[in-house]
Amino acid sequence: MERYTLDRVGGLALDNARFNQVAARDGASILALRETELAAGDAALVIAAGPSLHRQDTAGMIKASGFRGPIIATESAMAWCLRNDIVPSLVVTVDPHRERIVRWFGDPELDATAIARDDYYARQDMDPNFRFNQLESNRELLGLVNQSGPRMRIAVASSASQAVVKRCAETGMSVYWWNPMLDDYDAAEGFSRQLHRLNGKPCLNAGGNVGSACWVLAHAVLGKTKIGIVGMDFSYYGETSYRETQYYNELVEMLGAERIAEAFVHIHNPYLRRDFFTDPAYYWYRMAFLEMAEQAAADGIRTYNCTGGGILFGSGIDFVSFAEFAAAAADTKVSKVQG
């Protein structure tokens, strides 16, 4: 899978990194985040954009909890955060797609032609607000991000598109650069080393997706040992239509519409006593995350999945309510003061 991902996005990631070379080289490193207030305390909350975010009062739970640690959000969850008056301490972006990702920031260039060209946002299940009246919701998001940009930091991967980098600059976000680990850094002529040589910034093992990248950044860069997660489903609710899934068009092309059901795996979540289904890519994200979580746990890092849905459970992960995570985070603060 690592090689498949590299084949699929490696070339585009490198092209973007070359375009971003000067900005990344001369800009701040994600390691500089260790010198900010984000590094204080040992708890952080990661907000990803899975469908569970919208199926419960996640924003209400976060606000009512009194959680005071840094909130690290995927770019795809940023709109949800801002609509709910939650300004992330740090946003993370990595996917190199030239047109899609900037939509999560509000795309100044969006028009009816662009919407007709790509049906992704009309289908996706991550943020229902993006599905209807796309021009109007884009206008609203442009305003929200313009307003909150100066109060947000963003960890931008060198693989990010020109449109995303430009949008970050024009909104006044504070940018911190990193490189995605595209392959083994021990390979002398590998892509990861090429990226590092281009701009000198550290490579982060991003787990294949931006949500996992947030979690890695929380412990590997900010040194957090208690990390809560919401919105990380890596799966779909049973009532989701296949057309709404992330890779619908690709799977139809591979199998034909009549056989598309064969592409999905059904997984029972024993904590919720509920079934979810997932596709090959999301399933791989889950397996990669479990591998990373287990290793992080061996280093004393606790991962609290408070998503309330989905298939991310297993060794190294506490599948708990948000209240339980908030209590654990608060306990940490108390014990620190006592110590």
Partner 1 sequence: MSKLLRGNFTPKSEVAAKKNEDDLEAKFERAALARLGGSIGYVSRKKFLWSGETGEDKNELPAAGRAAQYDHD
Contacting positions for partner 1 (CB under 8 A): 1-2, 4-10, 13, 31, 94-96, 157, 159, 180-185, 192, 196, 200, 202-210, 212-213, 216, 219-221, 247, 250-251, 253-254, 262-263, 279-281, 284-285, 287-288, 290-292, 294-296, 299
Write down the number of H helices and E strands in the chain. 13, 13
Distances (CA, A) of 45 to 1, 74, 176: 28, 11, 19
**Judged by CB, which is closer to partner 1: 37, or 299?**
299
For tokens 């931008």, name the residue: 156
Q: How many CB atoms lie within 10 A of CB 259?
A: 11
CA dist., res. 70 & res. 61, Å (int): 16
**Judged by CB, which is closer to partner 1: 109, or 262?**
262
Instruction: Give the side-chain half-sphere CA count within 13 A for 186.
Output: 0
| CB contact set of 166 (below 8 Å; sequence gap of 6+) | none
For tokens 């209240």, name the residue: 323
Task: Locate 241 and state its tokens.
Answer: 């239509």
CA dist., res. 47 & res. 73, Å (int): 5
CA dist., res. 78 & res. 106, Å (int): 10
Answer for the pair 28, 221: CB distance below 8 angstroms, yes or no.
Answer: no
Answer for the pair 289, 212: CB distance below 8 angstroms, yes or no.
Answer: yes
Q: What minimum distance in Å lies between the beta carbon of 132 and partner 1?
A: 25
Answer for the pair 94, 161: CB distance below 8 angstroms, yes or no.
Answer: no
Query: What are 237's strand-pairing partners?
Result: 276
CA dist., res. 309 & res. 269, Å (int): 8
**Judged by CB, which is closer to partner 1: 191, or 325?**
191
**Judged by CB, which is closer to partner 1: 212, or 235?**
212
Q: What minimum distance in Å lies between the beta carbon of 147 and partner 1?
A: 27
**Judged by CB, which is closer to partner 1: 253, or 275?**
253
Task: Locate 197 and state its tokens.
Answer: 């040589």
Q: What minimum distance in Å lies between the beta carbon of 186 and partner 1?
A: 8
**Judged by CB, which is closer to partner 1: 72, or 263?**
263
Q: Look at the chain and count its residues.
A: 339
**Judged by CB, which is closer to partner 1: 82, or 203?**
203
Q: What minimum distance in Å lies between the beta carbon of 57 and partner 1?
A: 28
**Judged by CB, which is closer to partner 1: 150, or 200?**
200
Q: What minimum distance in Å lies between the beta carbon of 337 and partner 1?
A: 28
Q: What minimum distance in Å lies between the beta carbon of 119 and partner 1?
A: 17
Q: What minimum distance in Å lies between the beta carbon of 1 and partner 1?
A: 4
Q: What minimum distance in Å lies between the beta carbon of 206 and partner 1?
A: 5
Comparing CA positions, the residue from 17, 1, 9 lying closest to residue 193 is 17
